[in-house]
Structure formats: C-alpha cells, structure tokens
Structure 1
Amino acid sequence: MPGSDELVALYDRDGAVVGEATRATVRADGLWHAAGVVLVRSGDGQSVYVHLRTADKDVFPSTWDCWAGGVVAAGETPADCARRELGEELGVHGVEPVSVFTRVYEKDSIRCHNFAFEVRWDGPLVHQPEEVADGRWMSLEDLRAWAEDPESPFVPDGREAILDWFENHA
C-alpha cells in the first residue's frame, strides 16, 4: 500500500491529538485519526469540482468525491493538511481554505474526524495521477441530487459531509 509507513496523527474520540502511528497501523487497527478535506467551488460559487479516486486508493477506491483531502500527518494541523492535499491532488496553490465544519465519520474500521474547508477557485486544475483518475465541475443542484442518490458511486464519508454542507452551510 503506497504511503503505508507514513506517520499520521492519532486522535481520540473527542478530537484531540494523542500521538502518532503509521498509516498502515491506523488502517489495520481502526484507530482514530483526522483528515483535512476541501470543497473546491467555482469563483461564483455555483459549481463544485468532483473527482474520481483511483482504483488503488486504500479506502473507497474508484468512487467519486467532492472533497480533495487526506489524512493529517504527524505534527501537521488539519488546515496545513488541507492546503497540502489541495496542492497535491488538484494543483491548487495560493488560496487559503476557510474552515466550514468538523464531522466525525465512524463506520466499520474507519474512525476519522473530517475537518472540512472550502475554497473558491477558477484557475487551472492538475490531477495527481496516483490519487485522481478523472474530474469535472458539477452544478450545486446536480451535486446535491447525486449525493442524495444512494446508488451513485459516491465516497461514503464525502456523501455524508456534502449533505451536511447543503443542509447547514450552503
């Protein structure tokens, strides 16, 4: 698994940093961790960039997501993670993510605090081929319909988060 020896921050159930472990250990033991995730909206706010995760991702492979992001590394803040992942996955630099909310995702062996951010961006997008297989802009209306459809190939934690965003933050 790529990055399996990467050190990530460990969190407790309440969202406090309590240590570090390898990504492989976090996945194998279902340990609490965190992610910095970013909703990329067009400059006018009317559309969101969605992307297809590659088939070899360690969780939720080959699913669509509207949140660019990843696991918070040891010694990194969620905001730092969000900026880093936005640059790595989509090539977006020079814009400051704005905190929107934090939500817990706990299902099966995944226990994660998702720190959600948002940016407005009309610049170029460059996919990281190891993580992003495809992508496109989607209207807010279409995104909501897609997220509400349980049959759509949407990443589960991202689906929950975007439905929360539509309900409470849009």
Structure 2
Amino acid sequence: MELFEERSGDGTPTGTIVERGVAHSEGRCHGTAHIWIARANEKSGCEVLLQKRSAWKDSNPGCYDISSAGHLSAGDTYLEGALREIGEELGIHAEAEELRDLGLLEKVSHGVFYGKPFHDHEVSAVYLYTKPVEAEKLHLQESEVEAVRWMDLKECQKAVREGSIPNCIDIRELEMIEKAWFAGEKTKDEE
C-alpha cells in the first residue's frame, strides 16, 4: 500500500497521510517529483528523453510522459523522491547536485481509467538532468516504462499542444525546460 502525505497548493506537507487510491479517487493534493533528461541537439538546440508509460499504469497507460516521474512517499522530500524515481524507472544513479531544480508546479487533472474516475491534484518539483544518457543502455522498470525516445524540444512542444502524440505532459514543464536550457546557453555564450 502506497502512502502519500497531503500537501497544500504551495507544496508544503500538511501532516495528513492518505493512501494512493484515496488520493486519486478524492483528488487530494500530494507531491510528485518530475525529472526531465535533456541534451543538446543540432535541430533546435535541445532534445528531451520521453518515456512511454506502461500499458498497465493506473492512469494514462501507453502515453508519452516525463523522462522519469513519481509520487513522493509519506515523509519523502522532493529531492529524495526524484533520486529514487530516476534510479527505479531508468537505472540512473544520479547525485543530488546533478539535478537542477526548476521549481514547483501545481496541476489538477481528471480522467477515467479502467472505468473508474481518476482525480489527480499534485504539486510537482521539476528537475533537469543533463549528464550524458544513452537511451538504449537504460534499465527500464517494465511495470512503469514501456520504452523511451529522444524528441526535439520544439517538436515535443508542438506535439503536446496539438495532441499529435498520446501524452500526459504539461506544456508548462516543457516551457520551464526551454527557459532553463536557453538561459544556460546564453550564459555560456556570454562567458
């Protein structure tokens, strides 16, 4: 049984513990960690690694999603959750200083999966990981991740806006990556 700690809209833990199924059936606010893996490319300057969610996931099965993401267990910090998820889902043993914190993002969404209502209210810490990653050498957690693929950041933004690929990506996260990535590029050019 997975236990989450409810959070306020600003991400602060409330001290109330709730079971995962209850959190999603009642839309209780909880924390998640989202880790985006990005690298430079020739096309737009940046591409992101997308994961294709397992067909067995309780929400958005078979959809493209964040490189690695997961719920915070009760008592976890955002960073602890991020480091655990990138290790479990992709087999990457990242260090805390390798994750660039891009900020918090609150998201509320509703859907129906397997005939049951699903109400998701989460506050996510969004991180950027830029160490070299070879997609074909990752150790994917089969129960979570069906496959991974690199996609140009601009093409990904367009696909998410148009809905031309099955996805559960919040466009605001791609905008956060774009801002962080190209702000970093400007800093390098100015040096």
TM-score (norm. length: structure 2): 0.77
5+ long unaligned stretches in structure 1: none
Match for 2:157 among 127, 141, 144? 144
SS class of match (2:156): helix
Pairwise CA RMSD: 2.0
Match for 2:9 among 6, 13, 31? 13
After superposition, the C-alpha distances for 1:54-91 in whole angstroms (9 at most, x for unaligned) are 11212221100134111111010011101100011111
5+ long unaligned stretches in structure 2: 111-118, 182-191
> Is residue 147 of structure 2 the alignment partner of residue 131 of structure 1?
no
Query: What amino acid is aligned across from residue 74 of structure 2 in structure 1?
Result: A
Assess, with a 3 A threshold, how the Cα gap between structure 1 residues 116 and 166 changes in structure 2: closer, same or farther.
closer
1:143: Cα distance to partner? 1.9
C-alpha distance in 1 between matches for 2:40 and 2:78:
23
C-alpha distance in 2 between matches for 1:20 and 1:169:
34
1:137: Cα distance to partner? 1.4
Aligned residue number for residue 102 of structure 1: 104
Percent identical residues: 24
C-alpha distance in 2 between matches for 1:25 and 1:118:
30
* Larger gyration radius, structure 1 or structure 2: 2
Aligned residue number for residue 115 of structure 2: none
C-alpha distance in 1 between matches for 2:160 and 2:40:
22
